[in-house]
Structure 1
């Protein structure tokens, strides 16, 4: 298993996962999948390029309630084992490890259902933590639903420590916030 930079060579496998019901967004599931398929159909080159946006030029993001918020710098990597396995992304605010309240964590990941249970999320998170160190972050925060024990296990296996249980106002649900120290 490795993390690959999104590329046209892998795009068909990514789009196939979207068509099969997977989504890189654990909150806006089907809507994100439809939006990404439309972007791929309209301009596959621009779509792939948009997944590496270290200067936050991509415009605002849509929150679950339909409101818009400023995009943070970030990038995605695709989890690959010869076929598409999932996606993991890193986002940050320049000059600080703090995140705006509408951003649940520095790192988000989603493994396709047909590849779960193989340790891919744990390995992908370990690799992405190295990327976060290279960005100069002293720590990263990740969130998980209180009932998502698999995700909590992935985070804890990578040194995550539970910081708080909180209500995510923009998302209308309770979350667990974990922190992974990077120094």
Structure 2
């Protein structure tokens, strides 16, 4: 009998749920964290999942901004914006992408660096997943009534810059974040939504 190569499943965005939670926990256990500014967030999420997995999952889709305040890198807390997270899935957990917005406007408060943030686990990088995930999330952003989104990245994160540009992103500025965000240099891109 001749074995044939199994075609990999295409990456898709899925809503966080119990079905996909073991893959997410596995990524956390391998040291991945979706919050690059707060690496300790992975351990905090594991603890939240262990305490109440259903509550943790529900917190990832918060279209009415009912959750608690957002913890900033300096320890301060800011008002939560409406938003949600989707997980990248190809038969296993690949990463996370999130959308947040301020109702009635395309503008964001100063403490929010962008409408969309994403992170692919290291062992699934260089497969085009972030590019496809961002393209899918842009469609969801348009359904939320946004006419444009802003995405920020670090000047040395060339992979992220490539993902943003591949999805129509235009560089608007280089800036320094607020002290509550670490006073680091970031690049801001803007993507017009059709």
- The bucket for the TM-score relative to the shorter chain is over 0.9
Moved over 4 A (4+): none
Displacement of 1:155 after TM fit? 0.2
Q: How far, CA to CA, are the matches of 2:120 and 2:96 in structure 1?
A: 6
- Report 1:114-133 matches (<5 A): 114-133=123-142
Q: How far, CA to CA, are the matches of 1:22 and 1:154 in structure 2?
A: 20
Displacement of 1:19 after TM fit? 1.0
Displacement of 1:112 after TM fit? 0.1
Give the one of 49, 61, 67 matched to 1:52: 61
Give the one of 89, 92, 96 matched to 1:80: 89
2:25 is matched with 15
Displacement of 1:27 after TM fit? 1.1
Give the one of 139, 160, 175 matched to 2:186: 175
Displacement of 1:85 after TM fit? 0.1
1:4 is matched with 14
Q: Where do 5+ consecutive residues of structure 1 fail to align? A: none
- Alignment RMSD, CA only? 0.6
TM-score of the two chains, using structure 1 as the length reference? 0.98
2:110 is matched with 101
Q: Where do 5+ consecutive residues of structure 2 fail to align? A: 1-10
